[in-house]
Amino acid sequence: MPIRTINAADAWADVQRGGAGLIDVREPGEFATVRAPRAVNLPLSNFEERVSELPANATVYVLCASGSRAMAAAKILSDSSRTGVVVEGGMSDWQQRGLPIERGSRRVWSMDRQVRLVAGALVLSGVLLGWLVNPRFYILSGFVGAGLLFSGLTDFCGMARILARCPWNR
């Protein structure tokens, strides 16, 4: 069964009417920075273990930063006979549409930005170390490039899973 999607404005209108719940699957640090009102944080990193906390007969709108983690969570919901509808464009689209948000005092970078920073630092380190120390360090850059390629093809990012467990994202 295909995963359903909804635009942010329609999702917010339905949540306000009490027609559905809103689940945010970003990591706690991201959620603490900016979030949609009435959203409940169930991070994707432990979503599968906590899916039983959601009512079996209710529709929930699933929200993340841009949509890919929400899609993964909706698949988990579908596999457990629950209904999850992905909010298209995630919090990025939510904010661009001018929908209400709540801001916390905490400022954590989005998971996408953290992955780009770490991947860039590893690639640059591999190139510099390969040039200055030993050509074998080029393998590091190749490994990161292969990981990014795999992530792009499968929509699974191992680096994001690792970063999600870091203290600043909890």
Same domain, 9 and 64: yes
Q: What is the pLDDT of residue 139?
A: 96
**Are 97 and 120 within one domain?**
no
8 A C-beta contact, residue 86 and residue 72: no
The β-bridge relationship of strands 39-41 and 83-87 is unpaired
Residue corresponding to tokens 């995963």: 3
Bridge pairing between strands 59-63 and 21-24? parallel
Q: Which of 73, 103, 133 is the last residue of a domain?
A: 103
Regarding whether 142 and 75 lie in a shared domain, the answer is no
Q: pLDDT, tens digit, for every residue of 136-155?
A: 999 999 999 999 999 888 87
pLDDT of residue 164: 81
Give the pLDDT of residue 81: 84
Q: Is 12 in contact with 24 (CB distance < 8 Å)?
A: no
Q: Same structural domain for residues 91 and 118?
A: no
Q: Where are the beta strands (DSSP E) in the chain?
A: 5-6, 21-24, 34-35, 39-41, 59-63, 83-87, 102-103
Rounded CA-CA distance 23/71 in Å is 12
How many CA within 13 A on the CB side of residue 58?
A: 16
Same domain, 135 and 87: no
Domain total for the chain?
A: 2
The residues that are catalytic are 64
What pLDDT does residue 102 have? 93
Token pair in block for residue 127: 């190139």
- One-letter amino acid at 7 equals N
Tell me which of 103, 119, 149 is where a domain ends: 103
Domain that holds residue 45: 5-103
Same domain? For 17 and 85 the reply is: yes
Q: At which of 80, 103, 126 does a domain end?
A: 103
Q: Are residues 59 and 138 in the same domain?
A: no
Q: How does pLDDT run along the chain (170 residues), one tens digit per residue? A: 688 999 999 999 999 998 889 999 998 888 988 999 999 999 998 899 998 888 878 889 999 988 889 999 999 998 888 889 999 999 999 999 999 999 987 677 777 888 999 999 999 999 999 999 999 999 999 999 999 999 888 878 889 888 888 887 76
pLDDT at residue 1 in the model: 64
Q: Indicate if 89 and 117 belong to the same structural domain.
A: no
Q: Assess whether 31 and 95 both reside in one domain.
A: yes
